[in-house]
Amino acid sequence: MYRNLTIQQKKIVWAWAFLALPVIFYLVIRFYPTANAMLISFQSWNLLGDRTWAGIENYARLWNDPVFWQVFRNTFVYLIIGTPVSLVLAFVIAYHLDKLAFMHGFLRVLYFLPFMTTAVAMAWVWRWFYQPIPIGFFNNTLGSFGLPQIEFLRSTTLALPAILAPAVWAGLGFQVIIFMAGLRAIPRSYYEAARIDGVSDWTVLWEITLPLLRPTIVFIVVFSSIGFLRIFDHVFNMTTGDPGGPLNSTKPLVLMIYQTAFADFNMGYAAAQTVVLFLVLLGVSLLQLRILQDR
C-alpha cells in the first residue's frame, strides 16, 4: 500500500511518523491528565475509595467557601504587586547595567545567582531573616538600633509582602537578562540618529527604547504573571508551621489546591480549584497578550 503513495503522500506519512512520538507524549502526559482533572472536578474522591459523581457540588462549595475568596484575593495581590514591581525593577537594573562597562559580567552574575538558587533554600533563609529576636536578622538589626520589632511573618497585613519580596528578588535575574538581550537587539543606528537630532535622554527612552522593547515586555509580563499566579514554593516553605500564613493571609490558590488534595485528600474539590486556576491563567494571559501586543 505504501508503495502506491505519491512522493508528497510519503512525505506526509514520514512527517507524522516522526511527529508521533511528541504527539503521543503530549496526549498521555499533558492532555489526558488535564482532561482527567476536569472530570474529577465533577466527582467526589478521597484517593482511597471509588470516585462518585458529584455534579457541580465542588464548584458550589468553592463559591460558598470564604477561604477560597480570601485565597483568590491573595493570588491576585501577588500578581498585581509582584508583576509591576519586578518589571520596573528589572528594567531599571537592565537599563543601567547595559550602560555600565566596569565589572559588567560580575554584576550580571550577581543578579542572576538568585534565579539559579533553589527556591526552597532561599525561602528558608528569608524565613530566618524575618524571625523575631533573638534569631531574626532584620529584627536583631532593628533591636540593636533600639527600634521596636516588626512581626513580619506573624502579621495578617505584612506577611504577604514579606513573602513576595524574596519571590520578586528570585525572579529578577532572569528578567534582567531578558531585558538586556532586548536592549542589545535595538539597532544602534536609531540612537545615533537621535543623538544627531539632539534629542534628550528621556525622549530616547520614551520614544525609542520602550516601544522597541514591546515584545520583550510582553514576554516578561505574561511570563511573570503566570509565575506569580502559580506562586507556591516561597509561601509554602516560609509558612510551613501555619501553612498559608496567619489566618490564611498569605495563602495562594496553588497552596490551597495542594492542601485540599494532599492533606485533606479531597481530590474532587482540589480538581475544581485547579480548573478555576487554569481558567484564571488562561484569561489573564490572553488579556495581557491582547492589550500589550496589538495596536
Partner 1 sequence: MSAWKFKVLSVVLSGGLLVGGSARSEVEIEYWQYFFDARVTAMEQLIGEFEAENPGIKVSMTHFPYADYRTKVAAAIPAGEGPDVVQLFYGWLNDYVAADLIQPLPNDAFPPGQIEAEFFPMVSAMREGDNYWALPTAVRSLALFYNTALFAEAGIDAPPQTLDELIETARALTKTDAAGNLTQVGITAGMNAQDHHWFREVLVRQFGGEPYLDDYTTVNYNSEAGVAAAEFYVGLANDHKVTAFGFMDEPQAAFKAGRAGMHIDGSFRIGSLNKTRGLKWGVAELPAGPNGTQSNYSSYWVNAITTKAEGEKYDAAVKFMQFVTSDNAMQVWLDVVGELPAKPSVGLTEANANDAVFGPFIRGLAYANTTKFANESAQRQILIDMVQRIDLEGQPAAESVAVAAEAEQKLLDEYYN
Alpha-carbon span 30 to 278, nearest angstrom: 13
Q: Exposure of 242 by Cβ count < 10 A (0-12 exposed, 13-18 middle, 19+ buried)?
A: middle
Select the residue interacting with partner 1 from 262, 286, 289, 291 (CB under 8 A): 262
Would you mind telling me the total number of residues written for the chain in this entry? Answer: 295
Q: Which is nearer to partner 1, 51 or 95 (CB)?
A: 51
Does the protein bind partner 1 through residue 120 (CB under 8 A)? no
The letter for the amino acid at 202 is W
| Residue 66 interacting with partner 1 (CB under 8 A) | no
C-alpha to C-alpha distance for 267 and 184, rounded to whole angstroms: 48
Convert residues 124-153 into a mask of x (bound to partner 1 by CB under 8 A) and - (unbound): ---xx--xxxxx-------x--x-xx-x-x
Q: Which has the closest alpha carbon to 169: 75, 76, 90?
A: 90
Contact with partner 1 (CB under 8 A): which of 33, 36, 264, 286? 264
**Shortest Å distance, C-beta 170 to partner 1:** 21
Rule CB under 8 A: say whether 242 interacts with partner 1: yes
Given the rule CB under 8 A, which of 24-32, 102-110, 227-235, 259-267 is the region that contacts partner 1?
A: 259-267
The helix (H) or strand (E) run that includes residue 43 is strand 43-44
Write the CA distances from 205 to 183, 191, 198, 212, 254, integer angstroms: 11, 10, 14, 10, 38
Cell output for 154 = 506573624
| Contact characters 155-194, partner 1, x per CB under 8 A | xx--------------------------------------
**Choice from 181, 210, 247, 279 touching partner 1 (CB under 8 A):** 247
**Distance from C-alpha of 132 to C-alpha of 140, rounded to nearest angstrom:** 8
- Residues near partner 1 (CB under 8 A): 46-49, 127-128, 131-135, 143, 146, 148-149, 151, 153-156, 241-243, 246-247, 259, 262-265
